[in-house]
Chain A
Amino acid sequence: MLSLLPSCFLARTTTNEPLSAERLAALKVGQSTAQDALTTLGAPHDVVQLGRRSAWRYDFSNSKRAGFSIVVVTLLNEDSRSDRAWLFFDENLVLIGAGSTLQADASEFAMPWNEVESR
């Protein structure tokens, strides 16, 4: 059993910082501006120009990998989930829409045959 342990591994990779639901909730459609978003959330990770409008993306990803390898057989599971928010601004840089999905903390270490939580 001990000789099999070196062939197991767990790895976790994160990208960017977790998003804060409270900070996102502080931004109000029709009231908040791009400057408010910068002050509250910092610089976006991506900006997409949509004609005269623009969309800003904030994200944090959490990836968990679990593997097992013995002789010629390798079993590997990777569960990647993200916190993501998109803010949409009109041509005057007033917030016209905001959507967020916070599920990064639900990623799991598992084997390929294991059921993973799907909340």
Chain B
Amino acid sequence: MSARLTAIGALLLCSACVSVSWERKLRDLPLRPEQYQQLQPGAATLEDVLAKLGAPLDVWELGHGRFALAYGWEQNRELGLSVSVPVTQRRSANFDYDEINLHTYGIVCFLSADLRLESLEEGRLHELRAMQRRRPEYEEN
């Protein structure tokens, strides 16, 4: 009995500095493969892409009239442990360990200047975007 009370007391004391969390974060719905597998590079147009896939999550310029449409979604499950230890009266040290997958997964459609689908790539959006993103360019008449 005393062991149980000690355990409960310890848990209550720990609650101020230790926490275990199970979190799930859903952001938008994943596209179904059949939605984008029907899009043929060289044949599909901007209108085809928008009709099949809807509104993209992001759009960015690639230069020379080319641009990219990104479709993304997140389905993260995170299991975390957080420990906070007071080291002075006013400050505390924190230690966090989380199995966190923060990356948005999705597909990117690359469109040519004549509004045709050039290619379609699947993967983590931040990686695909980092490879391709550029500053908007000034075009002379």
Contact = CB atoms under 8 A, between A and B. Distances in A.
Contacts of B21: 73-76
Given A81-B28, A112-B22, A51 B50 contact: no
B47 interface: yes
A99 B54 contact: yes
Contacts, number: 111
Interface residues of A, number: 37
Interface size class of B (residues with CB under 8 A): 35 or more
Nearest to A84: B55
A72 B20 contact: yes
A76 B29 CA distance: 19
A72 B26 contact: no
Contacts of B100: none
A48 interface: yes
A99 B24 contact: no
Residue from A50, A85, A101, A103 with most neighbouring chain B CB atoms (10 Å): A50
A76 B79 CA distance: 10
